[in-house]
Structure 1
C-alpha cells in the first residue's frame, strides 16, 4: 500500500516537473498522453519515437505550441509513401482548446470521429483523409465558427451531411468524397468564401436547389451519386467554376450554354439524362468536355472543335460533323474525338489524310460508314454503322 502511494506521488511529481519545464497547459499534456495511447505506428513507421513524455511535448514531432497551448497537431509522417498510423482518435482531442489545425496522414485509423470536436472553438483546419473512419459526421462540426477546411474524404463514413455545416460562414473547403454518405445536399450555405465542394462517390440523393451553393464555388464535384432533377438554375449562378463533375447521376433538363463561357478546365456531365441541343455562343476553351451517355440532340456545334478532349458519344446528335473538327484533328489540336453511337451522317476527311498517333477518333455506329482512320475503344462495339431503319425513323 505504501509502495503504491509512493509510485503515484512520483508520477504526479514527474508530471509537474515536465509541465513546469515545458510550460504546457496540464490539460493539454494529459490530452496528448491519451491521444498517444490510442494511436500507434504501423510497421515501418517511426512517427511516435519522439513522443517521450519525460521531455517537452512541444518538441514532439507533429506537435506545435504557442505559449502554453497546443495549436496544431499533425499526426503521422507526411513523406510520400511512408506508412501511417493505426488505432482510434481519442475523445481527449476535445481538451486541446487552443487547437487550430488537426491532420492525420493516410493510414489504418478506425472508429468514429469523437463528438468532442465540438469543443475545438478555434479549429480552422481538420483533415483525416484516407483512413477507415466510420459512423456519422459529428453534428458538432457545425458549431466551429472558425472552421475553413473539413476534409474527411476516402473513409467509410455513413449517415447524412449535418445540416448545421451550411451555417459555417468561414467554410472554404468541404471535401467528403469517397464515403458512404446518404441523404440530400444541405441547402443555402452561408459562407461566401466556399470555393471547393467535393462529394463524389457517395450515395447522396434528391434535387439540388438553385441557391444551394454560393456563387463563390470554383470546384464542384458531385459525380457518382444519385442526384436528380434539373441543374440549369444552379449552374447559371456558379459563374466562377473552374472544375465541374456531375457525372454518373440522374440529372435531367438542358445544359445552359453560359456554362461553356466559364473558366473551366474540365467539364464532366456524362451518364446523366440531359436533353436538347448543345450550342455554345463562342469558341470553347475547356480542355476536356465529356457529355457522353446522355440524350443530347441536334447538330454538333463547331464551337466545340477547340476542345482538346471531346466526348459526345452515345447521344442523339445528327447531321454532318463540321469541317473545323477535321482540320483540328489532322493538325493534332484535338487529342480525343469520340462521336460514336449517334445519328451523324457525314465526316468529310480525305482518305489519305494522316491523323497523328497522339489523336483518337471514333465514329462507329452512326448513319454513315466511318472513315478508315477511325480507331475506337472496345466498348464501342463491332458494328460500324447504324441500321438504316433507325436513321430513317429519326429523319422522319
Structure 2
C-alpha cells in the first residue's frame, strides 16, 4: 500500500513539475521561433528588430502582441522594409497566433510551406512584397477574416477552392498579381460576409456574374484592370451598402444598368475606359457621389442636371464620349471641388461659373467641345488652379486679366477659340506656368515685357492672332524656353538679340509678320535650335555667318529683303526655297540666285597666289600645333594614368587588378565616345571582357576641373560627397537586367567606371542600323520584358526608388544572348526620403523620349521613366526612331502612333513590315501597353510593376511559333 502511495506521490509531483514548467517551455519555443524569424529577415534597413533579443521577453518585442497567458497573439511588422525569405512553416508553430501582418516590405522567394498549422489566423497580410511563384492552398485557415495578398508578385493559378471554407471572410484583397487568366471565381460568390473585395489587375475574365448581387454586405468592389466583358449585371443594384465601385479598364459593353440608382451610398464610381454606351441618367440618383469617372466610353445624351446639386462631388471626368447639351451651371459649387475633365465631347453652352467657389480647384479641362460664351471672371481669382484648358471650342470675349497671372498655373490652353483682348502684365505673377497655348484666336495688343518674369515658360504659342508691336527684349530671360511660335500676327520692329540667350530653344517661328532690321547673329549659336522660320517679314542685311553651324530640319528665310552672299554652308539646292524672294541675295554656287560680284582690281593669278600662300601657312601652323599638342597630350596621359594617385573602390568580387584597367586605357581599345567621356573595351588576362568609361572632370565650359569641386555623375554640379553617394547607391544594385558596375577608380582629374561588357551593343543599334533585321519578334518581346523588369527593380526594388531620367533604346544594352541591361546612370536620381517622388527639378533626358510634363513642370518622378519606356516599346513595335521626318513638323513617334489609331488596318500598319503577319497582333498588344505608358497625364500611367505584368500577359504563344517555323504562315485569333 505504501508503495502505491509512493508511486502516486511521485506521479503527482512529476505532473506538478510538468505543469509548472510547460508555459516556460512554450515561451522558450516561441522565443526561438521569433529569433529564427529575425535571422531570416536580417537585411532590414530599420531597427524594428533590435529589441528582439534572447534575454528579453517575447511580449516586449517591437511588433509583438501577447494574449493574457503570455503567448504570441499578433505579429505586426508591416511597412518596415524587411527583406528576406519568410519562414512561414516556423511562424505557424505559434499556437495562439491570430494576426500576421507583413505587408509593404521586401520579402521575396516562393511560399511552399504548409500553412495548415496556422488554423487560428484571422488576419493575414502578405501584400505588397516581392514573392515568386504561386500561392499555396490555405483551406485550413477556416477562421480567416482578413486576407491581403495584393501586389506581391504571386503568379500561376490562385487556389480559389481554398476560399470555400472561409465563411467569415470580410476582406479579400488579391489584386495586382499576375495570376493566370480565370473566369470570375464562383467561390467568392459564397462569401456572404464580404465587405471589401479587391480583385483589380489579377487577370479575371468573362462576365461579372449576376450572383454578385448576393454579396449584400459589400462596401467596396474593385475589379479594374481585368478582362471583364459583357454588360454590368442589373443585380449589382442590390448592393445597397456599396461605397466604392471600380470597374474601369475592362471590356464591358452595354448600358449602365437601371438598378444602379439604388446605390445611394455610393461615393466613388469609376467605369471609365470600357465600351459602355447609352445615356448616363442613372447617376442622377447617386447624390452622395464624391468622384464620378466615366471617361473613354461611348456615352451619349446629356449630363444630368441633378449633378449640379450634388453636395459632395469634387471630381468629374467624362472626357472622350459623345455627350451633348450643357453642363449644370451649379456644378461644383457646393463641396471643395477639385477637378473636371469633360474634353472631347459635343457639349454646348457656357462654362459653369462656380466650380472654384470654395477655392480648391486644381484642374479645369473642357477642350474640344462646342462651349460658347466667355470665361467666367470667377476663375481669375482661383489661385489653386494648375491647369486651365478650354481649347477647340467657340468661346469668345476678353480673357479675364487675372487668368494670365494665376500663381500655380502650369498650363493655359485657350487655342482655337475667338478670344479677344491683350495678354496682360499679370503674367509676371505666373511663376509656375510652363505652356501658353493661345494660337488661332483674336488676341491683340502688345506682348508685355513682364512675360520675362514667367520664368518657367517652356512653350509660347501665340500664332494666328492679331498681336502688334515689338517683341520685348526681355524675352531672352526665359532660359527654359524651347518653343516660340509668333507667326501670323502683326509684330514689328527687330528680332531681339537677347533671344540668343534662350539656350534651350529648339523651335522659332515668326513668319508672316512685319519684323524688320537685321537677323541677330546670336541665333546662330543656339545649341539646340532645330527649326527656324522667319519668312514673309521685312528683314534686311546679310544672313549671319553664325548660321553656318546650325543643323536645322526646317529653315525658311524666304520673302524678306536680305542682301549679300549666302553663307557657303547654306548654298545648297535643298535650301533654295528657304531663301527665295530675297532679291538682294547672291551665291557663287546656286544658279537660281544672281552671282556674287568679284573684286576686279586684283588679277586672278595674284588672288590665286595669295590663297595658296595663305593655305600653305595655315597647314604649316596646324601641323606644328598638332605636333606640340600630341607631345603634350602623351606626356599628360602618361602622367595621369601611371603617376597620379587613384582611389580604388570595388563593388563585387573582382578577378582583375587596378593596373590591368589602367594599362588598357589606350586609343586602340576605344569603342565609343559620349558627352561625359570615352568608353574602352578591356580584355583581361583570363579572357573576360569589360567596358570602362573614362570621365574627365570638367567645368561648365568643358575645361578639366578638379574632382574635389565637381562630381562626375548627374549634371557635374555639387560636392564630392554627392558623387560618392550616388555611385555607392548605384553600385549596390543587383539585378540581371541592370548593367553591373564592378568598381570605380577615381583621381583628382578623372574617374574610371568599370562595367560588364555587352557584346551586342545597344537596342538602338539593333533597331535603327543595318543590323536591325537580326531582331525577330520573340527577341524584341524578351528585350521589352527584360528592360521593364530592370526599371521595375529601380523603381520598386531598391531601398529608395531610382529614377533613371534618360530611358532610351541607346541606353538598353544587349549581351551575347540579346538579354537587355539598363545602362548609363549619368542622369539617375535617387528619390530622397524627405523629398517625395518629385524630388528633382533638373532638365534631363533625350528629345523624343522626354515626358510631356516637362512642358509645365520640372518636377519629375518614376512616371517620367514610364513614359520614356513607352517610347522604347513603340520603337520595338514600329522600327521607327522617336523623331522621324515622316511624322511631320514638331511631331514625335507618340503623336504619330496616336494619329494611326483609326481602325484595325491602320493600327496594324504601325507594326514594322519585317515582323511576320502571324506576330503582328502580338505586337499590337505591346503597342497598347506603350500607349498606356505614354498617357499625357502622369497619374494615369501604370507603374513599372504593372507594365511588367501587362507585358507578361502579352507573351507570344509558343505553339504559334512552332507552327510558323514549320508552315511559314498562320492566322491567329484576333487580339482584343
Work out the CA distance in 2 between the residues paired with 1:236 and 1:368.
31
Number of the residue aligned with 2:244: 72
Work out the CA distance in 1 between the residues paired with 2:446 and 2:410.
23
Work out the CA distance in 1 between the residues paired with 2:395 and 2:529.
36
- 1:280 to partner: Cα distance: 2.7
Map 1:15-30 → 2, pairs under 5 A: 22-23=192-193
SS state at 2:306 partner: helix
- 1:52 to partner: Cα distance: 5.1
Question: Is the CA contact 1:205–1:225 (under 8 Å) kept in the aligned structure 2?
Answer: yes
Deviates more, 1:213-222 or 1:86-95: 213-222
Selected match of 1:261 from 429, 441, 466: 429
Structure 1 residues 30-64: Cα deviation after superposition (integer angstroms, max 9, x where no partner): xxxxxxxxxxxxxx982636775497474965299
Residue 308 (structure 1) aligned with residue 457 (structure 2) = no
Number of the residue aligned with 2:415: 247
Question: Is the CA contact 1:349–1:371 (under 8 Å) kept in the aligned structure 2?
Answer: no
Structure 1 residues 102-145: Cα deviation after superposition (integer angstroms, max 9, x where no partner): 1123132110002x423323211110111110000011112221
Residue 227 (structure 1) aligned with residue 395 (structure 2) = yes
User: In 2 relative to 1, CA 145–251 (structure 1 residues): closer, same or farther, beyond 3 Å?
Assistant: same
- 1:234 to partner: Cα distance: 4.7
Question: Is the CA contact 1:179–1:201 (under 8 Å) kept in the aligned structure 2?
Answer: yes
Number of the residue aligned with 1:384: 559
Map 1:182-197 → 2, pairs under 5 A: 182-189=348-355, 190-197=357-364
Work out the CA distance in 1 between the residues paired with 2:208 and 2:529.
50
Map 1:162-181 → 2, pairs under 5 A: 162-181=328-347
Work out the CA distance in 2 between the residues paired with 1:89 and 1:142.
20
Work out the CA distance in 1 between the residues paired with 2:400 and 2:276.
40
Number of the residue aligned with 1:90: 257
Selected match of 1:48 from 196, 199, 207: 207
- 1:349 to partner: Cα distance: 3.9
Selected match of 1:124 from 290, 293, 301: 290
Residue 323 (structure 1) aligned with residue 497 (structure 2) = yes
Question: Is the CA contact 1:242–1:265 (under 8 Å) kept in the aligned structure 2?
Answer: yes
Number of the residue aligned with 2:515: 344
- 1:195 to partner: Cα distance: 1.6
- 1:232 to partner: Cα distance: 3.3
Work out the CA distance in 1 between the residues paired with 2:204 and 2:558.
54
Cα RMSD, aligned residues only: 3.4
Number of the residue aligned with 1:393: none
Question: Is the CA contact 1:209–1:234 (under 8 Å) kept in the aligned structure 2?
Answer: no
How high is the TM-score relative to the length of structure 2? 0.32
Work out the CA distance in 2 between the residues paired with 1:290 and 1:264.
13
Number of the residue aligned with 1:359: 530
Question: Is the CA contact 1:284–1:303 (under 8 Å) kept in the aligned structure 2?
Answer: no
Question: Is the CA contact 1:47–1:61 (under 8 Å) kept in the aligned structure 2?
Answer: no
Work out the CA distance in 1 between the residues paired with 2:246 and 2:420.
43
User: In 2 relative to 1, CA 352–311 (structure 1 residues): closer, same or farther, beyond 3 Å?
Assistant: closer
Q: Which of the two has greater helix per residue?
A: 2
Work out the CA distance in 2 between the residues paired with 1:108 and 1:154.
11
User: In 2 relative to 1, CA 214–301 (structure 1 residues): closer, same or farther, beyond 3 Å?
Assistant: closer
Work out the CA distance in 2 between the residues paired with 1:356 and 1:308.
11
SS state at 2:253 partner: strand
SS state at 2:498 partner: helix
Question: Is the CA contact 2:511–2:533 (under 8 Å) kept in the aligned structure 1?
Answer: yes
Structure 1 residues 135-194: Cα deviation after superposition (integer angstroms, max 9, x where no partner): 000111122211110000010000011112143332211111110011112224433212
Number of the residue aligned with 1:9: none
User: In 2 relative to 1, CA 336–19 (structure 1 residues): closer, same or farther, beyond 3 Å?
Assistant: closer
Between the two proteins, the alignment pairs up a number of residues equal to 339
SS state at 1:324 partner: helix
Map 1:267-278 → 2, pairs under 5 A: 267-278=436-447
Work out the CA distance in 2 between the residues paired with 1:311 and 1:72.
46
User: In 2 relative to 1, CA 304–84 (structure 1 residues): closer, same or farther, beyond 3 Å?
Assistant: farther
- 1:250 to partner: Cα distance: 0.5
Work out the CA distance in 2 between the residues paired with 1:175 and 1:243.
15
Number of the residue aligned with 1:391: none
- 1:353 to partner: Cα distance: 4.3
Number of the residue aligned with 2:367: 200
SS state at 2:349 partner: coil
Work out the CA distance in 2 between the residues paired with 1:251 and 1:316.
17
User: In 2 relative to 1, CA 214–132 (structure 1 residues): closer, same or farther, beyond 3 Å?
Assistant: farther
Unaligned runs of 5+ in 2: 1-187, 196-202, 225-235, 563-976
How high is the TM-score relative to the length of structure 1? 0.75
User: In 2 relative to 1, CA 233–261 (structure 1 residues): closer, same or farther, beyond 3 Å?
Assistant: closer
Number of the residue aligned with 2:324: 158
SS state at 2:346 partner: coil
Over alpha carbons, which structure has the higher Rg? Answer: 2
SS state at 2:377 partner: coil
RCO comparison, higher one (Cα < 8 Å, 6+): 1
Number of the residue aligned with 2:120: none
Work out the CA distance in 1 between the residues paired with 2:484 and 2:504.
11
User: In 2 relative to 1, CA 19–132 (structure 1 residues): closer, same or farther, beyond 3 Å?
Assistant: closer
